[in-house]
């Protein structure tokens, strides 16, 4: 009897496992699609899904060195507000996210998106081609230090880790580590490329902001706007968005809190990203 009971238990377990596997195969694709539509702005992490769907465009990022994340969405929604730029440069475009956001926000602009990583540029081109603004965005593989021309607005989610914290892959090093583009290089080259009324907008870890502002000043770039980003009212800033101009003006200082005490998105965050999130 004991052996018969054991066999029966194994048989039941096997049947239950098959049922669970069948159930998962039915609902996993739906769950996968649902996950791809959401991003947690409080976490400052990137999506694990191979794509992210916005209101007017979709970004695939599975081949890109820089995946869709909170930083890119924030700077894409914040940079150049109150401006009407006709020429925009997305420096370090990755999947093309910021370039697409710029094209959506500024309908009279032409956007140039560059990245040193070939696979990222290829995927950015695919995303741009599938968007409503394929005729106004050009993606190319290029070293920022070799770029020529003039731009009303330069936007970047730049690399910020130093060589002591280098990633395991060359592609990730190029995207998030200063081994290929230092802050000084980004600032000095931007100062050359900007038009007289042009702006440079970046998003950085809060800890490196003071040094970046100081370096910008040595190249004649004055802080025009600053926004410290806090995950909640109880947390200190983790990211800061900065915008620089060639002419000294009074700095517009802001603080953006993403979530309320009840873990809901704040009105300020909803207003900033309303044109993009589903």
Q: Are residues 100 and 185 in the same domain?
A: yes
Angle of the 97-105 helix axis to the 118-129 helix axis, nearest 10: 30
Q: Are residues 139 and 212 in the same domain?
A: yes
* Residue 43 is assigned to a structural domain of this protein: no
Q: Are residues 258 and 184 in the same domain?
A: yes
pLDDT digit string, tens, across residues 43-84: 344 457 899 999 999 999 999 988 899 999 999 999 999 999
Q: Are residues 2 and 120 in the same domain?
A: no
CATH code for position 264? 3.40.50.150
Q: Each residue's pLDDT tens digit in the chain (278 positions)?
A: 444 444 444 444 443 434 333 333 332 332 222 223 334 443 344 457 899 999 999 999 999 988 899 999 999 999 999 999 999 999 999 999 999 999 999 999 999 999 999 999 999 999 999 999 999 999 999 999 999 999 999 999 998 745 444 555 554 445 444 456 899 999 999 999 999 999 999 999 999 999 999 999 999 999 999 999 999 999 999 999 999 999 988 999 999 999 999 999 999 999 999 999 98
Q: Are residues 13 and 128 in the same domain?
A: no
Cβ contact 76:155 at 8 Å: yes
Distance between CA atoms of 215 and 7, rounded to whole angstroms?
74
Sheet strand arrangement including 137-141: 137-141, 110-115, 87-91, 151-156, 194-205, 239-245, 222-232, 252-259
* Residue 88 is assigned to a structural domain of this protein: yes
Q: Which structural domain range is residue 8 located in?
A: 1-36
Q: Are residues 24 and 87 in the same domain?
A: no
pTM: predicted TM-score of the whole model, two decimal places = 0.79
* Residue 97 is assigned to a structural domain of this protein: yes
Q: Are residues 138 and 61 in the same domain?
A: yes
Q: Are residues 4 and 108 in the same domain?
A: no
- Closest alpha carbon to 136 in 99, 110, 113: 110
Distance between CA atoms of 269 and 272, rounded to whole angstroms?
5
Q: Are residues 213 and 268 in the same domain?
A: yes
* Residue 45 is assigned to a structural domain of this protein: no
User: Exposed (0-12), middle (13-18) or buried (19+): which is 220, by Cβ within 10 Å?
Assistant: middle
Q: How many residues does the chain have?
A: 278
Q: Are residues 15 and 103 in the same domain?
A: no
Q: Are residues 109 and 222 in the same domain?
A: yes
Q: Are residues 3 and 26 in the same domain?
A: yes
CA pseudo-torsion sign 272, 202, 174, 162: negative
* Residue 42 is assigned to a structural domain of this protein: no
Q: How many domains does the chain contain in total?
A: 2
* Residue 278 is assigned to a structural domain of this protein: no
């Amino acid at each position: 009897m004991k052996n018969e009971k054991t066999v029966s238990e194994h048989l039941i377990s096997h049947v239950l496992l098959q049922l669970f596997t069948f159930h998962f195969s039915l609902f996993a694709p739906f769950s996968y699609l649902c996950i791809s539509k959401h991003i947690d702005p409080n976490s400052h992490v990137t999506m694990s899904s191979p794509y992210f769907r916005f209101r007017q465009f979709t970004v695939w990022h599975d081949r890109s060195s820089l995946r869709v994340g909170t930083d890119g969405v924030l700077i894409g929604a914040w940079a150049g507000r109150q401006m009407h730029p006709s020429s925009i440069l997305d420096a370090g475009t990755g999947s093309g996210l910021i370039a697409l956001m710029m094209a959506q926000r500024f309908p009279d602009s032409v956007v140039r998106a560059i990245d040193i990583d070939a696979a990222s540029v290829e995927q950015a081109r695919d995303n741009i081609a599938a968007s409503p603004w394929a005729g106004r965005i050009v993606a190319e593989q290029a070293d920022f230090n070799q770029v020529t021309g003039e731009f009303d607005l330069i936007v970047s989610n730049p690399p910020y880790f130093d060589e002591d914290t280098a990633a395991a892959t060359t592609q990730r090093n190029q995207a998030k580590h200063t081994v290929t583009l230092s802050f000084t290089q980004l600032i000095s080259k931007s100062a050359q490329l900007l038009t007289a009324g042009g702006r440079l907008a970046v998003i950085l870890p809060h800890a490196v902001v003071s040094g970046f502002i100081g370096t910008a000043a040595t190249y004649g770039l004055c802080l025009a706007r600053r926004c410290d980003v806090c995950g909640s009212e109880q947390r200190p800033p983790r990211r800061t968005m900065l915008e620089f101009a060639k002419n000294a003006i009074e700095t517009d200082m802001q603080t953006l809190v993403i979530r309320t005490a009840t873990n809901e998105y704040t009105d300020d965050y909803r207003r900033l990203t309303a044109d993009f999130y589903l």
